[in-house]
Structure 1
């Protein structure tokens, strides 16, 4: 029996997410991002398509590396304006029953004590359907907004991250015992004080002496996502992440990332198959291949190369306006998104140039879309799974909401007919839906489980 493909709708609480310029398309509704109805429609559509979840990206700061200014990003709505993703989750959970929510939150700039409560609250309100995409940031503009001159160095952010994880594991797993809460009205005892434990942590980066403010939520620790593909990022992911988002550009590169992640996870004593790996993908689908290619050209006429370059420059820490069209792009250490720069330099068999980058920016991003009929799209998705070992895809939007609606209406039935996509949701929490029944909490071999109180 073929394994089922996993799917997330990949989005962000903003106008322009990945495919830049498409907000100008007359059918696009992304400028309604600041309304509840927009997000509730997205959630209902994703649940109708039996998606595993909505993966909400986030950044702090603005994209101001390209030409030394944020002007290009602001003109093109390149992830600005941008609202808080966590506040969307209860509104979308209220109109769905099964859909999961992976929320990006930056551990570099928020104390773990406060953040742990926020995630526990979301896990309670969603009935155990929340996940956390762990990021450490990559923008100097974010650091300046939070009172620093520059952001911490790339690898040192992950060193801080390891200690941050230790603190939140202690709070989520070790502060409240499973039978601490009684809710005994007659005895007038809500919770037993002897079943709560102070978390005392005296580390290099964090100091804490407190009990966790929230009672145990359905999952205790939210499902842990991570999207760093740099060498240090993969070490962090192999230790902590249950779901990993990779973007290797080619199947060969992606396969290498998947193999490395699973081997590293085994080195930490984890089941490599227990990590769910998602590749980024963009799909343009229509009833026939010819119609899909026509739709691509229609979309392409609204795409913004300037917006794409503004985004990618800040992502990598490289101002691509300084390159001639045919000058090879060289790797140089930065404190931005190292994996994105490695993908077009050290991990690429052929040298990349600005001309090649622009040629890739078909829809205002550097990822070439999968284009075709439902059969053609399903063939391509299955080929990626077979050749790379990924478990599924984070599908970024193009023109919204029609791109998600088209995928749900056209591709999902084709995948179901092939027996490679579910026909109903499994019961339980998000972790149980991903890992199996009875697995609401972190598995015993996960580092976070070592902090659990019985």
Structure 2
């Protein structure tokens, strides 16, 4: 029996997310990202088309300087302006029934007590379809926006995230026992106080008394995504993630990353299959291979390579705006996104990567070009490498998704590579893993029933 792949749409509440410059295209409706109708329409299209989730990226600061400053980012719409995806979730939740709603947030931007409250509220509103992408912000500007002198070192950010999720688990899983909520009109008891607990967390970063102010939501803990392929990030994923977003340069590199992370998960008392892996891929689709290649050339002419370089290099903490495209970028070490540099080195094995390779990595290494049938063939290769799903990167909203749904999804469905869109489950976690609640091997489950009432 073929196990289907899961599909999510990788988007951002901004005009230019990953494939830069396409907001200028007549089909690029992401130029109107402030219009809620754009997102509601997209969410409905994805749900009807068989996607399991929409996955929102986010930033809370500018990328590093390009050509000595940040005016380039504003002028070109490089993830500025951008809006808070968490605010969108309520609107999308009430306009869909089955689509998972995932979004990105870092400890830097909100205290865990309030974050836990907002997540639980959204999980109630959506009837259990919320997922959180656990990240550590890598932007110097983001840290200065929140009162820091500069970027906290990479490994320290993950220690911070470790305590952040620990507080959240205590609130989501331990503060309210099962059966605490009564809502009994006859007795007048809304909730049993003996089953609601303060968590009294005291750590390096936080002191949180509790209790959690929201009663248990359909999933309690949202489905937990993680993005980051550094050694520290991978170790964090092995302990905490249920789904990992990767952008491996090819299936073999994906296989190595997946196998390593799953082995680490087992070492941490989990099972390898407790973690699903979503590869980021974009698609150029043609009725023939020749047409697909022609469309790819047309797309490449529209892509702003300068923005591609500014995006990736800025995330790595370096300014490559003044360098020639063929300049080698060896010996680059930053406190920024180390995983991006690792992917770049992997994609240029046998030679030193150049500035031009940065743009190439962002545009082509995660792109599949071909007919629906040949795309399905390639997705089977990725699936054999160990991925469980695909995070579909768009060139245009909502054209990229409409084309994929119309032409590729029927082929995938015929091959059993996509879940039957009529299949309905109560929560996102149940759809993907078979249970509403996080499993007992996950560290969050350790807080169930451990707190005493006082």
Q: TM-score by structure 1 length?
A: 0.95
Q: Which moved more, 1:365-374 or 1:420-429?
A: 365-374
Q: Which residue matches 1:394?
A: 391
1:45-56 aligned at under 5 Å gives the runs 45-56=45-56
Would you say the 8 A contact 2:344–2:361 is kept in 1?
no
SS at match of 1:344: helix
Rounded to whole Å, the distance in 1 between the matches of 2:324 and 2:399 is 37
* 1:418 alignment partner, one of 415, 418, 427: 415
The corresponding residue for 1:65 is 65
Q: Which moved more, 1:305-314 or 1:338-347?
A: 338-347
Compared with structure 1, are the counterparts of its residues 209 and 358 closer, same or farther at alpha carbon in structure 2 (3 Å cutoff)?
Answer: closer
What CA distance in whole angstroms lies between the structure 2 residues aligned with 1:125 and 1:289?
44
Helix, strand or coil: the match of 1:278? strand
Q: Which residue of 2 aligns with 1:451?
A: 447
Tell me which residue corresponds to 1:273: 273
Pick the aligned partner of 1:403 from 388, 391, 400. Answer: 400
Query: Which residue in the other structure is 2:8 paired with?
Result: 8
Distance 2:254 2:331 in 1: 19
| 1:330 counterpart SS class | coil
> Secondary structure, in 3 states, of the residue corresponding to 2:379?
helix
The unaligned stretches of length 5 or more in structure 2 are: none
Whole-Å Cα distance in 2 between the matches of residues 46 and 416 of structure 1?
Answer: 15
- Partner of 1:320, secondary structure, is coil
Aligned to 1:379: 377
Per-residue deviation, residues 132-187 of structure 1 (Å, max 9, x unmatched) = 00011000010111111102101100011111111100000011111111111122
Give the 3 Å change call, closer, same or farther, for CA 236–221 of structure 1 in structure 2. Answer: same
| Maintained 8 Å contact 2:154/2:336 | yes
Q: Aligned-pair distance for 1:14? A: 0.6
Shifted more, 322-331 versus 116-125: the winner is 322-331
After superposition, what is the alpha-carbon deviation per residue over 1:74-98, rounded to whole angstroms, capped at 9, x for unaligned?
Answer: 1221111100001111211222111
Distance 1:223 1:355 in 2: 37
Q: Which residues of 2 match residues 119-138 of structure 1 at below 5 A?
A: 119-138=119-138
8 Å CA contact 2:140, 2:150 repeated in 1: yes
Whole-angstrom distance in 1 between the partners of 2:253 and 2:348: 8
Provide the secondary structure at the position in 2 that maps to 1:101: strand
1:283 to partner: Cα distance: 0.7
Query: How many Å separate the matches in 2 of 1:345 and 1:289?
Result: 29
Where in structure 2 are the equivalents of 1:314-325 lying within 5 Å? 314-325=314-325
Deviation at 1:194, TM superposition (A): 1.4
Q: Is the 8 A contact 2:439 2:445 kept in 1?
A: yes
In 1, are the aligned partners of 2:64 and 2:315 still within 8 Å (CA)?
no
For the residue of structure 2 that corresponds to 1:147, the secondary structure is coil
Q: Is the CA contact (8 Å cut-off) linking 2:248 and 2:366 kept in structure 1?
A: no
Residue in structure 1 matched with residue 36 of structure 2 by the alignment: 36
Is the 1:108–1:161 contact (alpha carbons within 8 Å) kept by the matching residues of 2?
Answer: no
Distance (whole Å) between structure 2 residues aligned to residue 287 and residue 428 of structure 1: 37
Alignment correspondent of 2:353: 352
Aligned length: 448
Deviation at 1:69, TM superposition (A): 1.3
SS in 1 for 2:292: helix
Residue 426 of structure 1, CA deviation: 3.8
Tell whether the 8 Å contact from 2:102 to 2:131 is kept in structure 1 after alignment. Answer: yes
Seen in structure 2, the aligned counterparts of structure 1 residues 78 and 296 have a Cα distance that, compared at 3 Å, is same
Equivalent residue for 1:337?
Answer: 337
1:250 Cα deviation after fit: 2.3
Q: Is contact 1:280–1:394 with CA below 8 Å preserved after alignment?
A: yes
CA distance in 1 between counterparts of 2:353 and 2:40 reads: 40
Q: Deviations over 1:410-434 (max 9, x none)?
A: 1110001112112232422100000
- The equivalent of 1:370 in structure 2 is 368
CA contact (8 A) 2:22 2:28 kept: yes
Taking the aligned partners of 1:146 and 1:91, their CA distance within structure 2 comes to 27
Shift of 1:3: 1.4
CA distance in 2, matches of 1:75, 1:296: 26
In 1: Cα distance, 2:356 partner to 2:157 partner: 33
Instruction: Give distance in 2, aligned partners of 1:246 and 1:408.
Output: 22
In structure 1, stretches of 5+ residues that fail to align are none
**Cα distance, 1:4–1:330 mapped onto 2, change above 3 Å:** same
1:197 aligns with 2:178: no
Distance across 2 between alignment mates of 1:316 and 1:209: 37
Report the CA distance between 1:366 and its aligned residue: 6.0
Task: Report how far residue 368 of structure 1 moved.
Answer: 4.6
Pick aligned residue for 1:441 from 428, 437, 441? 437
Tell me how far apart the structure 2 counterparts of residues 331 and 390 of structure 1 sit (CA, whole Å): 31
Residue 321 of structure 1 deviates from its aligned partner by 2.7
CA RMSD of aligned residues (A): 1.6
Distance change in 2, residues 1:6/1:372 (3 Å): same
User: 1:82 aligned to 2:82?
Assistant: yes
Residue pair 1:10, 1:54 contacting (<8 A) in 2 also: yes
